[in-house]
Structure 1
């Protein structure tokens, strides 16, 4: 398969997914009606209206109840993106199809398959944008007045749709597949020994996944979002585990009932109640469903109308996301949690199957014995690292869902599950971060730079590398601020669902802090990776500013909010497409190229010199050499010797290092003139990260001889050397 042939075909699959669905017919329709005044004298349990401008006819079906008696008139206003596009008066007595409303009588009203013509002047008032832009931010408001006194009797409001939307399942599937391809490509290239390529592809894929989750966070906020923004962010809720599967919903409902909870029955009782999303005022309410819902139990944000005991369920934020995905609000936590567990099990199964397939191919002679040899020899260690990476990927998702569940308490067992899960994940990531810090500090203490042990120990690299390979060696600690950023951001989304403005302000501050930190420190491995992540941080900050505008904190006109919603969709859609293409191209190149490392510049911290194969270090002599180079011999201090004793398989472990060092000394491996026979603090390491001896040539991609790891030439690490560990070696200035 040739690389140039793969890209066009991939683009053909990707581009249509990001194009919203369109229809050749121009139409405006509404399937829900709500009251926009207190104590209305008319309520509707069914409301379907379709306007087709090409034939100038309004088609409608209405079933409701009226407390009005007498002749009435109606004033109709149509709004598009906050702009009043149409304003006209209607008299039921002037239309044969509405003769049943002239006069209007108390009691039930049932209008089926009725039509009402509109004049050409009224049709021309509707702007063309109302028929073309997806997820129309429009509504129609009808005032029913007494024809004799002009007293307002009822105010009804219906949300309009033009049949086009940017919420497409294909978008979610495409983004998920491409992000998955990036992670798989990095794993395969790493197994083939292309560590530089694997690090770049993995870093970009994880950053892309983080961008998807940031978009999902916007959709989960309790801010009222313009329809196009709500629909766009819904495309990325898969990254939070919000995916509807029929049997899974039944399983979640069963589990909740079995553990003492009371599940809602939202999508099987669409008859008596209206589901709404609260907007900025009473007169501006967006329907999210035709009808809904007996009760939400202990949910506290329900509101009741006074007409015929019609219950109105007001939902926002996370519940809104679940409703759009057709998931009952009491099943949201268990759905996300179950998908996370399924993801973990799926990864374990894939790794085990891959191990079995590779071993079978090697035994049958269809694959060379040296292919994936490091993976085959230490696949359990690799699996641990992969599972740690999965925990990191699922961390934002579980922070939001677990803490949100603590506020909803769907059942006692689910609360316990949420507490256990989030504490476990915090402990795992906290321990892993602390381990990286300890290893880096040991490396600095012994070798005057953090990169040596972090990258020269294959076990440490495979197990803990998911936390630091995307950063330059001196910024190994930056995973701690990233985890803190994700935790604080998730807490605001989960625990502040009652105040959209507070969430918006908090997200602006959080995203600004991360953007400033990335722009000033530039912690990632190279310029391209820094630019990639800074761009994502900048877009996330801009998105947070848009969210602040959507919260109506500035009391801007409705037209401004509508236009800003369209702008939000356009720039995020373009940016997402660019990121997807970049990751897709890099992933395909990594898989089909014979030597993908040529596409990337060597890291300035010379990690490539330190990264060593476990296979190459399998012999007693080289194992002993590596152990002695790290100061794990007889004369190593107890603190250094025992720092990694919990990782018995790591050759940076003191106990194993001491054994190998003793064997090496007994065999006389080190000569009197060898640099490695010196004390660790004064060792002069030669070309290949200290593993080659003085006769080894320098790597072809570096002009340094790695004597002291300084690109300017050999450096004497004697008493006159600078004490700063961050002023040594390429990339540390």
Structure 2
């Protein structure tokens, strides 16, 4: 019987049809989760795995089930739902097949596995796109109904998957690794409060957090978008340990402190999703009726077997009346990565403590390094003094940056913890975390605002302490726009309130989010707060992307009733838009890093050329000194070499000006030599009129070129211009 039912289910699985294509050479369809959609009474399933391989058109299955009721005649209903479309919905009378071997159902435990081949005619009806689209939204439901009473004896739902998903571990490692690299470069360059890389690091992490937070609303998300947003769950400090050691510790803590909500599980969370949401996309409520006339012995047997199944196979009962159904928003998002809804805040809190411990360790290493440099006099004294004075402000600036990064995760999940009414210790930790992060972020904001009120905005950019300590808030903005950081902090706070306290209405969440995003983008476009046009364009681009993506998510509101296929397409569009935006941010960061290294290389080249130039000047000075030393006499006195041709100075020009002196003078070589050695006037103060007289000085080239030979007499003709010019100023 079970082999026959398995074949019926496999046949239904392979009839699904989809849209949206990607590339794959071969694929398969398999069950990703199995749950009871009704309280089990007749058929108990311990394991059920089915997989269809497109390459050889074969089906493999592994089933372990048990019938616990006797003398039951049932009919089997098989339903397949793919993106809200039901390509198969048939009812089979088990009494009319196999010569009545399945009527009534035999009482025995059936365990077996097999692989069978399907005919070519059947495989040809399977669209190839089924194996290529990521995050398939489909499930199959098998219902056994008693013929005489119409009571449901068993109902099993199995979700389908083709193994393709937009949630990839490689994406998490790639984005995380690039973020760490950017962090290290920004850490290295952040001694200058005006460097751009720390702000680009903040923009990158804010973008990741925005993608993750956008999947926390009470909306009917397509599975593909939730899977894409899970790639950035680490930006919200949501890390799921592989061995579940952290989640197990949180479960134990909650159990000891009054926690009563469901614990984390290693099984797929998709089985617990509300049946009206993706991937089920079904408005019909599953029947959970049962036979009221079961004997107490049968009831105890059923309950015992069900409990055993839940412990061994985690095959849970999920109906429309169950209290374990995951609602849209934070429950589905965190449970998909095996974090219980009640464990979400504690996971963020513990990861924050780990981050604080790492930060303190890094800062301590810095202090130890500075102490070692001072103790052993390492490096130049000026450099050590500079590092010693700048290090405290540098530490405070990075504490502020880390506080801004952790503001959204801590506030969102602290608020959400207050709505759960679970462990009192978790609530206490959430209050402590909320107060701590609010003080760490709000106190610097108050200091900046108070400083400006007492003085003026320019002091924030001229005071070294304020610029280096509180620069992460305002340094990237113009002095008159220093306050632009306030709307960002306020909007982040209100977003946390919307996500946590208005989780009952997805429409209200989207509308309020859209209002906030539009206000931010208008503020950027109108005020243009950044110091450069490129920074304004970059900030406007990010703000516009947030507005567009938030507006597209209106299609996910349940009350609007957009069909599953259009919702799926919009989810892919959102993933593409955010992916392109992330690449743009990475490209911008890479461009700044490249420019940084080019500037450093140019600086090194300039320093190297300056050093070489200084060395060459030093060599020339040494050569001059050596040459002067070689011209000295044996007693070390420098010689005065006699030139090959002595150039006499003009006696009329070289002597002090005297209006009563004759203008025509005859000199010989002896008198010229005597005046040159004893009565020269170099450096003496000339009369005022000389400052306006365009005369040739003794060092002028014209005077040297036209000086007469030794013993010659200057003619009056050559002196007339000088005399006329001199008397013209009298």
Residue in 1 aligned with 2:273?
276
Partner SS, residue 223 of structure 1: coil
Deviation of the 1:541 alpha carbon: 2.1
CA–CA distance in structure 2, aligned partners of residues 210 and 101 of structure 1: 63
Distance change in 2, residues 1:418/1:73 (3 Å)? closer
Query: If the length of structure 2 is used for normalisation, what is the TM-score?
Result: 0.66
CA–CA distance in structure 2, aligned partners of residues 166 and 514 of structure 1: 30
Deviation of the 1:234 alpha carbon: 0.7
Gaps of 5+ in 2: 1-20, 287-308, 605-730
Residue in 1 aligned with 2:217?
221
The within-5 A match list for 1:626-637 is none
Q: Does 1:536 align with 2:542?
A: yes
CA–CA distance in structure 2, aligned partners of residues 351 and 591 of structure 1: 25
* Structure index of larger Rg: 2
CA–CA distance in structure 2, aligned partners of residues 441 and 39 of structure 1: 70
Contact 2:199–2:472 (Cα < 8 Å) also in 1 = no
Residue in 2 aligned with 1:53?
54
Deviation of the 1:478 alpha carbon: 1.5
CA distances 1:653-684 after superposition (whole Å, capped 9, x unpaired): xxxxxxxxxxxxxxxxxxxxxxxxxxxxxxxx
Deviation of the 1:100 alpha carbon: 10
Residue in 2 aligned with 1:399?
411
CA distances 1:698-730 after superposition (whole Å, capped 9, x unpaired): xxxxxxxxxxxxxxxxxxxxxxxxxxxxxxxxx
Q: Does 1:267 align with 2:273?
A: no
CA distances 1:93-127 after superposition (whole Å, capped 9, x unpaired): 9999xx99734617676453144554434433333
CA distances 1:332-372 after superposition (whole Å, capped 9, x unpaired): 21110111122122122213313433664687687555557
Pairwise CA RMSD: 4.1
Residue in 2 aligned with 1:453?
459
Return the match for 2:487 from 481, 491, 504. 481
Q: Does 1:134 align with 2:166?
A: no
CA–CA distance in structure 1, aligned partners of residues 452 and 459 of structure 2: 7
CA–CA distance in structure 2, aligned partners of residues 596 and 497 of structure 1: 55
Segment drifting more, 320-329 vs 102-111: 102-111
CA–CA distance in structure 2, aligned partners of residues 146 and 63 of structure 1: 22
CA distances 1:16-46 after superposition (whole Å, capped 9, x unpaired): xxxx999764101113234668999866453
Q: Does 1:432 align with 2:444?
A: yes
Q: Does 1:574 align with 2:580?
A: yes
Distance change in 2, residues 1:517/1:244 (3 Å)? same
Q: Does 1:70 align with 2:73?
A: yes
Distance change in 2, residues 1:60/1:103 (3 Å)? farther
Distance change in 2, residues 1:236/1:317 (3 Å)? same
Distance change in 2, residues 1:591/1:91 (3 Å)? farther
Return the match for 1:211 from 195, 204, 207. 207
Residue in 1 aligned with 2:229?
233
Deviation of the 1:229 alpha carbon: 0.8
CA–CA distance in structure 2, aligned partners of residues 156 and 568 of structure 1: 33
CA–CA distance in structure 2, aligned partners of residues 596 and 21 of structure 1: 46
CA–CA distance in structure 2, aligned partners of residues 95 and 569 of structure 1: 48
Residue in 2 aligned with 1:470?
476
Query: If the length of structure 1 is used for normalisation, what is the TM-score?
Result: 0.66
CA–CA distance in structure 2, aligned partners of residues 393 and 558 of structure 1: 35
Contact 1:272–1:293 (Cα < 8 Å) also in 2 = no
Deviation of the 1:397 alpha carbon: 0.6
Return the match for 2:400 from 385, 388, 393. 388
CA–CA distance in structure 2, aligned partners of residues 503 and 527 of structure 1: 33
Gaps of 5+ in 1: 1-19, 286-290, 295-301, 445-449, 599-733
Distance change in 2, residues 1:589/1:514 (3 Å)? same
Deviation of the 1:56 alpha carbon: 2.4
Contact 1:337–1:398 (Cα < 8 Å) also in 2 = yes
Residue in 1 aligned with 2:177?
177
Contact 2:268–2:336 (Cα < 8 Å) also in 1 = no
Residue in 1 aligned with 2:250?
252
CA–CA distance in structure 2, aligned partners of residues 284 and 131 of structure 1: 29
CA–CA distance in structure 2, aligned partners of residues 468 and 596 of structure 1: 29
Partner SS, residue 61 of structure 2: strand
Residue in 1 aligned with 2:423?
411
CA–CA distance in structure 2, aligned partners of residues 174 and 161 of structure 1: 25
Distance change in 2, residues 1:336/1:107 (3 Å)? farther
Contact 1:22–1:163 (Cα < 8 Å) also in 2 = no
CA–CA distance in structure 2, aligned partners of residues 591 and 410 of structure 1: 52
Segment drifting more, 431-440 vs 370-379: 370-379
Distance change in 2, residues 1:235/1:150 (3 Å)? same
The within-5 A match list for 1:472-621 is 472-587=478-593, 589-590=595-596, 593-594=599-600
Deviation of the 1:236 alpha carbon: 0.8
Q: Does 1:112 align with 2:112?
A: yes
